[in-house]
Amino acid sequence: MLVLDVVLVIATVAVIAAGLHLGPHGSIVAGVIGTLLALSSIVLAASVSQRSVPTLLWILIGFALLASVAAWVAGIYLIRRTRSMPSMSNRLARIYDSQGTVTADIDPIGTVLIAGESWSAESQAGRIPLGSKVFVTDIVGLRLKVIPEATNVTETKNPKEL
């Protein structure tokens, strides 16, 4: 009897682990199989002793209710926490076309500080020294493409004036 219970517990853990890797549909299947395994254990116990069936059934029902409530509370908490976090696309959109400061020489790769975060950056205009101001022109993966801030703005004359 004890050997079968251990085998059923190991099978239940294996089914739950498989369900975690297979996504929501796998979790539903794992839940059904796990429930069937638990019920088969109760039926097996019932065949051995008629007195322990109601006790085992109430323990199973109590555990199922407790696990359901815990999963529901954890799910609500995680959903609220996830929704309150800014998405990565919004964060990257805010960084795009913003100004930052070079924290390690960019020749052609270095680091910049933008919006309080340190980013790997690649220069699109040659070497950029430490402390220079840069603008983000593109984002490729987790690397920013930057250009130096224009320090000498030259006036462009109208071709008709020449």
Boundary-marking domain end, from 84, 100, 128: 84
Confidence of residue 49 (pLDDT cuts 50, 70, 90): low
Q: Is residue 122 part of a domain?
A: yes
- E strand spans, 26-162: 99-104, 109-114, 117-123, 133-140, 143-148
Query: How many domains does the structure of the chain reveal?
Result: 2
Q: Is residue 160 part of a domain?
A: no
CA 107 to chain centre: 33
Backbone angles phi, psi at 124, to 5 degrees: -105, 5
Q: Is residue 30 part of a domain?
A: yes
Contact 134, 128 (CB under 8 A): yes
Question: In this structure, how many other beta carbons lie within 10 angstroms of the beta carbon of residue 41?
Answer: 19
What pLDDT shows up at residue 112? 94
Q: Is the pLDDT of residue 147 over 80?
A: yes
Q: What is the pLDDT of residues 77-91, one digit of tens each?
A: 888 887 776 665 666
Q: How far apart are CA 157 and CA 149, in angstroms?
A: 22
Range of the domain at 78: 2-84
Boundary-marking domain end, from 84, 107, 127: 84
Q: Is residue 8 part of a domain?
A: yes
> Would you say the pTM of this structure is higher than 0.75?
no
| Helix boundaries (H) for 49-161 | 53-84, 88-95
Could you tell me the CATH number of the domain that includes residue 131? 2.40.50.140
Q: Is residue 103 part of a domain?
A: yes
Q: What is the pLDDT of residues 93-117, one digit of tens each?
A: 777 778 899 999 898 899 999 888 8
Domain co-membership, 104 together with 57: no
CA 145 to chain centre: 25
- State which of 44-48, 60-64, 96-100, 126-130 shows the largest mean pLDDT: 126-130
Domain co-membership, 77 together with 96: no
Domain co-membership, 94 together with 143: yes
Boundary-marking domain end, from 84, 100, 119: 84
Tokens of 53: 């069936």
Domain co-membership, 69 together with 121: no
